[in-house]
Amino acid sequence: MLRGLCLRATVTAARSGAGIPLAQRVGAGIPLAQRAGAGVPLTQRAGAGVPLTQRAGAGIASNQRAWARISPGGRPGLRSLCSAGGSCWRCGAPPPEPPGFFCASCRALQPPDRRCDYFQLLGLPRRFRVSAEELGRCQRRLQRELHPDRFSRSAEAERRFSEQQSALVNEAYGTLLRPLSRGFYLLRLELPAEAEPEEGGSLPPDAEPAFLATVLRLNERLEEADSPEEMGRVAAEVEARLRELSEEVARAFEQRRPRDARPLLRQMRFWSSLGERVKERQLPR
């Protein structure tokens, strides 16, 4: 009921124009946790109820959390996660080339290499199009090599590194698996200086009317849907829009237009949250 009220408020505000910034109008019907978090540091935004990997910027925040766990006080940039780079902790040999996990000389497991981004870590090319099967294969292969169970009899340092490496691989996998978190992560890599502050910003002016109209129409259909068939149709429409957006995002990155990906990703974030609401409504009561 509350959502219905919010929606009607959204519709009214949007129709009257009312001098309300579009981002706020559109956001009015979205649960707080999923709204754009402009002005709030990324890592402090509320995300309760939203699967971690689907949260806006989840990759970046979790990446930083992962690194914070590994090196307290460190807040690395993404392009250069920087500095592992020292010699092998056991034999002093030069460090393996990223994303090498083991010393080439003595085979000791090394601490996470902070020069690696998530794509390098998993051994994947840095691009938006990622096959879930390939991603899964990379993650499983690395987890077999790095899993703490394999190091239960190893030196304390190596056990610790295996926990860190293993956790990092899971973070990377979770971030790159979902198109939304993968897209925002890639955006951060491509535009390290400007992505984060704007991630929660408003929609692009030229996309406003069509996007808003579709949003309002689907919101109304969702609120009024009274049969599983109608809910299914709304769900299919949301899925189709997400697929289209995903394709557009992929093209923007491939054609070296990362800035064009940002408004598309914001739209994806909205459709994702609407998709979640559809799923909630589809659950048997």
Is residue 54 within 8 A of residue 181, CB to CB? The reply is: yes
- Using CB under 5 A as the binding rule, the residues of this chain from 118 to 137 that contact Zn ion are none
Nearer to Zn ion, 88 or 180 (CB): 88
- Using CB under 5 A as the binding rule, the residues of this chain from 53 to 112 that contact Zn ion are 88, 90-91, 93, 103, 105-106, 108
Nearer to Zn ion, 88 or 235 (CB): 88
CB atoms closer than 10 angstroms to residue 207: 14
Q: How far is the CB of 33 from Zn ion (least distance, A)?
A: 45
50-71 per-residue burial string, b: 16 or more CB within 10 A, e: under 16? beebbbbbbbbbbbbebbeebe
Measured distance CA(247)–CA(263) in Å, rounded: 14
Q: Is 109 strand, coil or helix?
A: strand
Cα atoms in the 13 Å half-sphere on the side-chain side of 254? 9
Q: How far is the CB of 109 from Zn ion (least distance, A)?
A: 10
Q: How far is the CB of 105 from Zn ion (least distance, A)?
A: 5
Q: How far is the CB of 80 from Zn ion (least distance, A)?
A: 24
Measured distance CA(39)–CA(251) in Å, rounded: 29
Is the backbone peptide bond immediately before 99 cis, with ω within 30 degrees of 0? yes
Q: Is 30 strand, coil or helix?
A: coil
CB atoms closer than 10 angstroms to residue 257: 11
Number of residues that bind Zn ion (CB under 5 A): 8
Nearer to Zn ion, 160 or 281 (CB): 160
- Told to check if 252 binds Zn ion by CB under 5 A, we report no
Is residue 215 within 8 A of residue 25, CB to CB? The reply is: no
Nearer to Zn ion, 88 or 265 (CB): 88
Q: How far is the CB of 91 from Zn ion (least distance, A)?
A: 3
Nearer to Zn ion, 88 or 122 (CB): 88
Q: How far is the CB of 278 from Zn ion (least distance, A)?
A: 53
Nearer to Zn ion, 103 or 250 (CB): 103
The two three-digit tokens of residue 280, written as one number: 């909630």
- By CB under 5 A, name the binding residues for Zn ion: 88, 90-91, 93, 103, 105-106, 108
